[in-house]
Structure 1
Amino acid sequence: MKIIIQRDRLVQSVNDVLKAVSTRTTIPILTGIKLKANEEGVSLTGSDSDISIESYIPSEEEGNELVEIKETGSIVLPARFFAEIVKKLPENSVEIEVHAHLQTIIRSGKAEYKLNGLNADDYPQLPQIEEENMYAMPIDLLKTIIRQTIFAVSTSETRPVLTGVNWRIEDGQLICIATDSHRLAMRKTAISGNGNSHSVVVPGKSLSELSKILDDTDEEIQMIFTENQVLFKSKNLLFFSRLLEGNYPDTSRLIPNESKTDVRINTKELLHAIDRASLLARESRNNVVKLSTLEGSYIEISSHTPEVGTVTEEILTHSIEGEELKISFSAKYMMDALKALDVTEVTINFTGAMRPFVLKGVEDESMLQLILPVRTY
């Protein structure tokens, strides 16, 4: 194999596939990045057997030559060293040449490195996926959906299925749900595609890495589901992820249908007030803030930590309807939910001091956040 390639594009592709390379793998070849050159261009692959990422650099794009293929072939190079080397090369042109015994020469300007490669034939093949259940949506919408749900996945391995986001597709609609059993985030959107109804659980870690790689663009990304894999496919990128096994709990039972107290309020004002109250609450173990309804459409946000002190702040709401209420909750969970909603005004529906409460954007049914209160004595 012998190629001359633009350094910037190489660095970008290496950084993308590096997100799938694990240093803690029992399969030594997976600590490497696979390069494969054919007449059309070069593909780079990284994998940790849960996530596999392939980034493609075409020989030519929009009239610019990105890669000159002198000789086709393939090689696996140690990922960490290769990534550091290409980042620091002096010129924007890089020559990569594989010699006998898999020794690989990397040249740029006056700099020359020799790396010991591994045989690409020993690298695991990417899954072959039939393109039956294929759906599509704009990339920027996908990134928004990931941001609005992923923070609510569980970080505990005691129930592995909760470390992922449940993706349900039915009647042209995608419903994404994440919960750690203390809070829940749900986002709905229309989706185009030719597949049947689907319910899969995509690992939160995979979605987080995918979101980092994708550029903010309205170009479409395709999603293809199989029994145990999902493939996200954009112009020059393939992102495979293993799906989580097990049945995702039926979360519809958690979401209350009626409410006893409804508060409508400016999202930023509430977020900043809770942030201020949490300055003292942070000192205590559980970061609890209390919300109480007052006369004349006011609410009070307060926090008390015996060894530090007390904070109270009143905020004028747009409206309060229903019963009086005092409720305590995690400041962090509430702030995460308000940031994710991304709306100017929020409606909070309470069903009592010890029952889960729901946050929604005013006149926006596509998104919902649910939080369990904290019992304080």
Structure 2
Amino acid sequence: MKFIIQRELILKPLQKISNIISGKNFLPILNNVLIKVKKKYIKLIRTNLEIEIIIKIISCKIYKSGTTTVLARKFFDICRSFPELSIINIEIKNLRLIISSNKTKFYLSITSENNFPKLEIYTYDLQFFIPINLLKNLIKSTQFSMSKNDIRYYLNGMLFEFSKNKIKSVTTDGHRLSISNMFIEGIKFNKSIIIPRDSIKELMKFLDNKKDFLNIKISNNNIFFKIGNYSLISKLIEGIYPDYKNICLKQYDNFLQADCNKLYEAISRVSLLSNEKFKGIRLYISKNQIKITANNSSHEEAEEFLNILYEGNNIEICFNAIYILDVLNILKCDKIKLLFNNNFSGIQIENFLNKGSIYILMPMHL
């Protein structure tokens, strides 16, 4: 195996795969990157048995084909250490990977590709294309409320529901629920899948080309994403997602309209003196006014009044400030509306003019 490549052309792909979620890598070989050198291109492959990333590099000069594996992070650090625009020579000699540029040489231990997990061949039932910017916005709208390490494993991911010309993403951690809808032509099937949290995080690293399209293929157990020379394959979470539709408010007793930015700033200020662990704040809602308060174990307090549009009964309700701020930061609109029934029920937050996304927060008991 031997090829020559400019530093920048291999550095970015290595950077993308060197940081693949690796906390579950109980096999040492999973810390390696598989390098496949063909006649006209190079493939860099990385996996943790749940996510598989493949990056194809065409702009290089190949002298000899071959395949090997080497520690991904070490390979990346060495290539990064060379000056900008350096020409890097990479070859295998005497069972070692030699990386050289100008007068510098590195000799790395390698591991046979036979020890690398065999890449599965998948058969996909469904295929479609979607603009990258649409998928990126859809994920951003709900990503923050995915659960992390819930024993209800199906919550540690993002639910996608496909129907005619429509995609919906849903996440919940049991304390909050996020739902976002997006219309797109070309979806002609009905299907629900759950993509793991780590796979969503890896995918978002590559959704940076707003003008391009993403090719998506789905099977019963896996999902495949392809953007140009980059591919990601992820296992899907098996399980039945909670019936979130019953949580959405179909009827409500109280309706509140507020300035999104002013509410965000007020909560941000007041929460500075909230309990460091629970971040709880109180909302005292009365006619055309909210009083926001917080206190902590040091007997410190903060309060702020905010003008709103509200004609209902007086309500006192407590929330985690971070949860509200997450929602307001995603909405970033002029006006929002809050729908609720009483101080024990969840509160539903929406963009006043656009119902594309719905957020539901459960109250705290302080």
* Offset, 1:309: 1.9
Aligned twin of 1:294:
286
Partner of 1:36: 36
2:227 matches 1:240: no
Which letter maps to 1:286? F
Q: Shift in Å at residue 323 of structure 1?
A: 2.6
Q: What residue in structure 1 maps to residue 348 of structure 2?
A: 358
- Name the residue aligned to 1:47: 47
Per the alignment, in what secondary structure is the counterpart of residue 308 of structure 1? Answer: coil
For the 8 Å contact 2:145–2:172, the answer to whether it is kept is: yes
Which residue of 321, 333, 346 corresponds with 1:343? 333
Choose from 93, 104, 118 the match for 1:99.
93
CA contact (8 A) 2:163 2:188 kept: no
Deviation at 1:244, TM superposition (A): 1.1
Q: Following the alignment from structure 2 to structure 1, what is the Cα–Cα distance between the partners of residues 191 and 294? A: 44
SS state of the match for residue 356, structure 2?
Answer: strand
**Aligned-pair RMSD on alpha carbons?**
1.7
Partner amino acid for 1:52?
Answer: E
Q: Give structure 1 regions of 4+ aligned residues with deviation exceeding 6 angstroms.
A: none
- Does the Cα contact within 8 Å between 1:77 and 1:116 map onto a contact in 2? yes
1:158 corresponds, among 118, 135, 151, to 151
After TM superposition, give the deviation of residue 68 of structure 1 in Å: 0.5
1:215 to 208, 213, 232: 208
Equivalent position to 1:256, from 246, 249, 258: 249
- Tell me the alpha carbon deviations over residues 254-298 of structure 1, each in whole angstroms, 9 at most, x when there is no partner: 111112211111111101111111111134x42111112233x22
User: What is the aligned counterpart of 1:313 among 301, 304, 307?
Assistant: 304
The one-letter code matched in structure 2 to 1:17 is: I
Runs of 5+ unmatched residues, structure 1 = 59-65
Quote the residue 1:3 is aligned against.
3
Could you tell me which amino acid in structure 2 is paired with residue 307 of structure 1? S
Residue 185 of structure 1 is aligned with which of 171, 174, 178?
Answer: 178
Distance of aligned partners of 1:321 and 1:305 in 2 relative to their CA distance in 1, 3 Å threshold: same
Checking the alignment, whether the CA contact within 8 Å between 1:135 and 1:191 is kept in structure 2 is: no
Deviation at 1:131, TM superposition (A): 4.4
Distance 1:125 1:193, change over 3 A: farther
| Contact 1:45–1:54, Cα closer than 8 Å, also in 2 | yes
The separation in 1 between residues aligned to 2:21 and 2:204, in whole angstroms, is 16
SS, match of residue 283 in structure 2:
strand
Give the partner amino acid of 1:163: N
C-alpha contact 2:164 2:188 (8 A) present in aligned 1: no
Instruction: Note the C-alpha offset of 1:21.
Output: 6.0
Partner SS, residue 29 of structure 2: helix
Map residues 193-208 of structure 1 onto 2, 5 A cutoff: 193=186, 196-208=189-201
Using the aligned pairs only, state the percent identity. Answer: 25
* Corresponding position: 1:26 with 2:26: yes
- Unaligned stretches of 5+ residues in structure 2: none
1:205 is aligned with what amino acid?
Answer: D
Supply the AA of the counterpart residue of 1:259.
Answer: Y
Are the counterparts in 1 of residues 319 and 364 from structure 2 also a CA contact under 8 Å?
A: yes
* CA offsets 1:231-253 (integer angstroms, 9 cap, x no match): 11110100111111211111111
Give, in whole Å, the separation in 1 of the partners of 2:125 and 2:221.
14
State the Cα distance separating 1:19 from its structure 2 match. Answer: 2.9
CA distance in structure 2 between the aligned counterparts of 1:222 and 1:237, rounded to whole angstroms: 11
1:326 to 304, 316, 328: 316
Contact 1:75 1:120 (C-alpha < 8 Å) held by counterparts: yes
TM-score, structure 1 as length reference: 0.92
When normalised by structure 2's length, the TM-score is 0.95
Alignment partner of 1:228 is 2:221: yes
User: Shift in Å at residue 322 of structure 1?
Assistant: 2.8
* Matching residue of 1:172: 165
Tell me the amino acid that sits aligned with residue 290 of structure 2: I
Aligned to 2:4, the other structure's residue is in SS state strand
The number of residue pairs the alignment matches comes to 365
